[in-house]
Structure 1
Amino acid sequence: MTALIALVRKDLILYINDKRALMLHLLMPVILAAFFGSLFGGGSEAKTSKIEVGLVQLDQSDSGKKIAAGLKADSALTIIDLSDAEAQDRVRHGKLSVAVVIPAGFGDAAAGALFSGRNKPELPVYYDPSQSTMLAMVKGLLTQQVMQVTSAAAMGPKGNLTTEKQLAELRAEAAGDPAKAPLSEFLTSLKKFQDQRAADDAGKEAAAKAEGKPAPADAPVGMTMPYTTQDQALSSGPKYNGYAHSFAGMGVQFILFMGIDMGVGILLARRTGVWNRLLAAPVSLATVLSGRAVSGAIIAMALMCSMFVCAMLIFKVQISSLPGFLGMAASFSLMTAAFGLLIAAFGKTPEAARGIATFATLIMVMLGGAWVPSFVFPAWVQQATLVVPTRWAVDGFDAVTWRGLGLDGALQPIAVQLAFAVVFGGIAGWKFLRDQK
């Protein structure tokens, strides 16, 4: 036991004195986690960012102006008025994701095509091909505004001229197409409604003028969204904090890099002969390997705890279950230490082992959802990544932070991490013993 403690103490002192390793394994993950956390929505108090949309307003009719006003009033959009050339230039150079052009005469043409379905006007939309998701969102919001304004223009009192024109066209075609008779009847009723509304509005305007009052505003007419949404963000405990997932992901990645350094360190010791001299001392191979594993696990756990202390103090990340978090940190640290021993056991040279291990780690980190949450993966990929230890590590840390789960939510990820630690450690020990013979 004295020899084991001495080996662990020696490794810890060497690591603490290595300023480069401390910077790489502690400072870098904090910086990257802060960056990715801001992309994933930041803290619970962060507001949803608006989409910047360029607007080229060429239609100066009432309908065109109302469409533009509706877009500017939408809480999800930030509208920037531009000329056509400016809009194309900004989108082309990646300064805007989407720009919308409302061409001259669009409002009147859209109202005329609402019921007939003919001569539909085109509404140009410029978009950055790398931002196709933004295009779909903007087109949905644009449809809402255009339908509301266009239907109001077609069905309101001021749309009687459009209705008369459509009726004339339908009556000329009705003889050859009986199927258009119901539409003709509908437009006839709509024309009567418009004429009645126009007469009522004229009477109200005259009465207001006689009393010296301003004319009453037009009542809103037209189709609007028949519902509103009540958005509620639900989790078992703390409010969602984008930094929590980022610190879990970056912590897992850089602590695995620390495990690579541990394995490569053993290979360097072999090359320089230090490893053979260590084994020549009155200590067993099991004690030497255990010393490396224990010191590596202690360093990994200290790094993970330090990172989340920064996350709690600076970025308001909350831990819902301290026992669950400590269990996850300890089990993942043991898995990392066993991973380092596995690298040392099968590595031929330090250089080759570092390259292969770094590649394998990046693949595990990517598939584990450390860079982006695993729920954005296709369903088959989500199922396939269940055999990757990093997937369970990230999910476990998510469970005891922003998801607000207790120790029970972390038990399965802890068990999986420990199982991987046993498998990696067992294979590495078997290889070391075989090579020693």
Structure 2
Amino acid sequence: MSNMYIITTLVRKDILLYLQNRKAILITLIAPIVMAAFFGYVFNTDSNKKPSKTPIALVDKDASTLSAAIAAKFSADATLDIVTTSEDEALKLVRSGKRRAAIVLPPNFERDINVQSSSDAKPAITIQYDPSQAYILGIINGVMTQYVMAAIVKNQFGRNAPEKLLPFRAKATEVTTNSAQKYNSFAHSFAGMTVQFILFMGIEFGIGLLLMRRQDIWKRLRIAPISLVDMIASRIIASTMVGLGLITAIYIAAIGLFGVRVAGNWLGFIAIIIAFALFNASFGLLIAAIGKSPEVARSIAIICHSHFGDAGRRMGTVIYISCVAAEPIATHPDLLGN
């Protein structure tokens, strides 16, 4: 009996056993599609729509011409949702999460700006922000510096001074692999969810090998003229083929229902998927070899998956880049963004 015949028979056995568990197949197929659709809608952007606005509270204690000009600049910003209110009300809005931060212009702000003669005399604009939204502080500092300086220059040097003094203007342009290809958030979400769920499938294949050791089928296999290398090779091949089938089915849904397109090289896209399926099969067996029992292997799998999630997302990003190249990376923590 040749090794190829033995491996083929074992692969066929593993695939048939997996196909018998229809619930597992449906969950492995439906769950990533549903979650990818959800995240795709959450991160879906339309370049024709106005950018989402950041809710900010503005407190004007000065009530001067200068502070009114600053408030007008903030209100005209397309990226900010400004509400002018009292300081106490602004604090309540920030604490309740209805506003990301509050900008407080101090009393006598215009007078102090005009009479200041040293750094100690500079009036202080207070920014009260939610610590969980610390990233907003840098945004507000940049926008506030621009608008306050523009209002001050306009107030001191004339009506049209800011437009004449600014040496540039900002123009926003979307960057993708293809200038005619718009960003598709579903391409990113489907790549990420596919990688995460296929990883779980590979781990289950590895743990399944440990469960076989507790059953009579393992004894029968060991009695038969089958080497350990043949068993491991057949397990890797079977897991790889199942992974390829699941990825193909998920991406058929992505292409047919959500408009995901492979804008890059099709051969490269297929090569990445095959490489990931093979890696996933080997990773599941690695977990099984380290754990040596189903209980320990599952615990190791949880730890590895939690730490391996970043690498999984990066692999998902590699698959995703084959479709379109743009990622809402600003929504990720610094650890993932870097």
TM-score bracket, normalised by the shorter chain, equals 0.7 to 0.9
Residue ranges of structure 2 left out of the alignment (5+ in a row): 327-338
**Amino acid across the alignment from 1:8:** V
Provide the aligned length of Structure 1 versus Structure 2: 318
> 1:329 maps to which residue?
273
> 1:187 maps to which residue?
none
- Report whether the alignment pairs 1:297 with 2:240: yes
- Report whether the alignment pairs 1:61 with 2:71: no
* 1:45-56 matched pairs, under 5 angstroms: 45=47, 48-56=51-59
> 1:342 maps to which residue?
286
Deviation, structure 1 residue 303 = 2.0
1:94-147 deviation line (CA, Å, top 9, x unaligned):
33211112334323433443x765632222211011212111101211111111
**Amino acid across the alignment from 2:175:** L
**Structure 1 135/304 Cα, relative in aligned 2: closer, same or farther at 3 Å?**
same
Distance 1:95 1:397 in 2: 37
**Structure 1 75/248 Cα, relative in aligned 2: closer, same or farther at 3 Å?**
same
Distance 1:369 1:296 in 2: 18
Deviation, structure 1 residue 294 = 2.0
- Report whether the alignment pairs 1:86 with 2:27: no
Structural RMSD (CA): 2.8
Deviation, structure 1 residue 345 = 3.3
> 2:300 maps to which residue?
356
**Amino acid across the alignment from 1:220:** N
Residue ranges of structure 1 left out of the alignment (5+ in a row): 157-218, 371-390, 405-437
Of 217, 232, 242 in structure 1, the residue corresponding to residue 173 of structure 2 is 232
Structure 1 window deviating more from structure 2 (259-268 vs 244-253): it is 244-253
- Report whether the alignment pairs 1:151 with 2:153: yes
Distance 1:134 1:316 in 2: 33
> 2:135 maps to which residue?
133
Of 20, 26, 30 in structure 1, the residue corresponding to residue 29 of structure 2 is 26
1:42-83 deviation line (CA, Å, top 9, x unaligned):
356475422111122333322222211110111121112333
Deviation, structure 1 residue 361 = 2.9
Q: Is the 8 A contact 1:63 1:108 kept in 2?
A: no
Distance 2:138 2:302 in 1: 38
SS at match of 2:167: coil
**Amino acid across the alignment from 1:348:** K
* 1:258-337 matched pairs, under 5 angstroms: 258-281=201-224, 283-319=226-262, 320-337=264-281
**Amino acid across the alignment from 2:284:** G
1:306-353 deviation line (CA, Å, top 9, x unaligned):
333333344433212222111111111111112222333343210101
Of structures 1 and 2, the one with the larger relative CO (CA 8 A, separation 6+) is: 2
Calculate the TM-score normalised by the size of structure 1: 0.65
- Report whether the alignment pairs 1:12 with 2:29: no
SS at match of 2:104: strand
* 1:194-209 matched pairs, under 5 angstroms: none
Calculate the TM-score normalised by the size of structure 2: 0.82
Identity of aligned residues (%): 36
Q: Is the 8 A contact 1:67 1:145 kept in 2?
A: yes
> 1:120 maps to which residue?
122
- Report whether the alignment pairs 1:257 with 2:204: no
Deviation, structure 1 residue 38 = 5.5
Q: Is the 8 A contact 1:101 1:125 kept in 2?
A: yes
**Amino acid across the alignment from 1:241:** N
**Amino acid across the alignment from 2:192:** G
**Structure 1 108/312 Cα, relative in aligned 2: closer, same or farther at 3 Å?**
farther
